[in-house]
Structure 1
Amino acid sequence: MPVASLEQTITLAMSVRDRHASADWYREMLGFDLLYHADDAGWSELATLTKGVTLGLGEQAEPAPGNSVPVFGIADIDAARRDLEAAGVRFDGDTEVIEGMVSTATFYDPDGNALMLAQDLTGGN
């Protein structure tokens, strides 16, 4: 049973030591455009050169090398999570909400690869 409310966006999320320096590197080396720095959330986001695909940078003191988590835009995260959990999909903790910004939920494929759902709460989609 596929999740019906997936949107046509994907964010590739990676952990980095310094979001601001990393964002500068991706702008200079790959031509990505900075969308925003959300310093209170420890998150930065850049538009890639592919329509609908962004790069998210989450700041971690010790990021794991080679990490990347595809983040799928979703219209209704609560409904999608209920459907996936009913189908036996394992989630990592509760849905996290940053008011006025985003709701996220991390889940795993059968091989243990992390994936994430994200619902835009800004009203601007």
Structure 2
Amino acid sequence: MDNHTSPGRIGQTAQDLKEYAALRVDSFRLSLIDNLSSFFNSLFGVFILIVLLGIATTFFAIALTWVLGIALGSMLLAIVLMGCLFVVFAIIVYALRRKLIINQTVRMLSGMVHDMSQKHSDYEK
């Protein structure tokens, strides 16, 4: 009689393992979708912010160039000064690229991976 129930238990255990694995895969997939949507939402927000700041910077640069041209009496000199100002800003951003861009991206992605591992650990309470 014990022999009769043994294959049933093994079969039930195998079925339970298959269901558990399918649930874990589904849970991982949903978490991945959640994290990717958060990532792309943040990326889209940053992109929109950069575009709007670029437009604002262009208008302010044109206005400042115009004011400098009037103050200095030479529009060519004002344009050259604004060009130099933008080169200085580009050098500053390049020098701080690790702190401004790379570290922030790594921190955001590692936070997502950590959250995903916390949500899907086998030791959930």
TM over 0.5: no
State the TM-score, normalized to the length of structure 1: 0.19
State the TM-score, normalized to the length of structure 2: 0.19
As a proportion of its length, which structure holds more helix?
2
- The structure showing larger relative contact order (alpha-carbon pairs under 8 Å, at least 6 residues apart) is 2
As a proportion of its length, which structure holds more strand?
1
Higher CA-based Rg: 2
